[in-house]
A and B are shown apart, each in its own frame.
Chain A
Amino acid sequence: MNTFFLFVLLTLAVLIGAYLYRVLQGPTIFDRVLGLNGISTKAIILLILIGSVHERVDMFIDISTGYALLNLVGALAVAKYLEQKGLP
């Protein structure tokens, strides 16, 4: 089972690379924001998976919950900022 989880973790890391390409490359700033949102969803999944590998899921879920809640605040702040300032 651990080998399987490692495989899933590595695949997710590669997928994060795809989103990171969008963040680094993205023609507009909104592509970057979108990539960041995708990465943060993966982050939550990855944290829980890592917890499952370490068999301490309870602690890792607390991290992912906190991360998800603050991610909402951050993403809304970014969107608000871009709405007011327009395209850079």
Chain B
Amino acid sequence: MRPVSSQFLLLKATALFVLWIMLSGSFNWIHLLLGATASLLIAWINSGHSPFVPNFRIWGKTILFLPWLFSRIVHSTLHVTKLILNPKLPISPKLLHVKTNLRNRAAVVLLGNSITLTPGTITAEVDDSTLIVHTLDDVSSEDVRSGRLEGKIASVFGNGDTSP
């Protein structure tokens, strides 16, 4: 078992605590105390599972990456909508094998999730360096094939791709 990162523990506990406040909606001190205790306890119990060590430096860049991703989602949603509403159904689905140079596991997770979140492409299998992507047609898979998405994510994570 890896040593528990106290930063990560606190982060988890804070997220849980925010969820607690949101669900209870009460700022009574006994409720807040109960919530803090419960979230710390849950974060501590679950601390052994996560393979990721958080890297706080990339968070700002990740948040900047999200609007771009959202614009791509809107773009491809409109494209898939046109495909579905077309009476001839002009789709040519196929499986792509996409090699990725990303070495950071969090980066691969972000890549796979972004691909799946974009309509028209879906990650079917993730290996260490290969993703099998199912696409609806060639237009919707353009971002993946041209490596644009991967480039964006690589720039989010910086060039420090050395840590596996």
Partners in one complex: yes
Binding site for B on A (CB under 8 A): 58, 62, 65
Q: State which size class the interface on B falls in.
A: under 10
Binding site for A on B (CB under 8 A): 23, 25
A65 to B25, CA, bound (A): 14
**How many whole Å from B1's CB to the nearest CB in chain A?**
23
Which of chain A's residues have a CB closer than 8 A to the CB of B23? 62, 65
Closest to B25 in A: A58
A-B contact pairs, 3 of them (CB 8 A): A58-B25, A62-B23, A65-B23
Which of chain B's residues have a CB closer than 8 A to the CB of A62? 23
Closest to B24 in A: A62
Which of chain A's residues have a CB closer than 8 A to the CB of B25? 58
Closest to A62 in B: B23
A65 to B20, CA, bound (A): 12
**How many whole Å from A28's CB to the nearest CB in chain B?**
15
**How many whole Å from B39's CB to the nearest CB in chain A?**
15
A80 to B23, CA, bound (A): 30
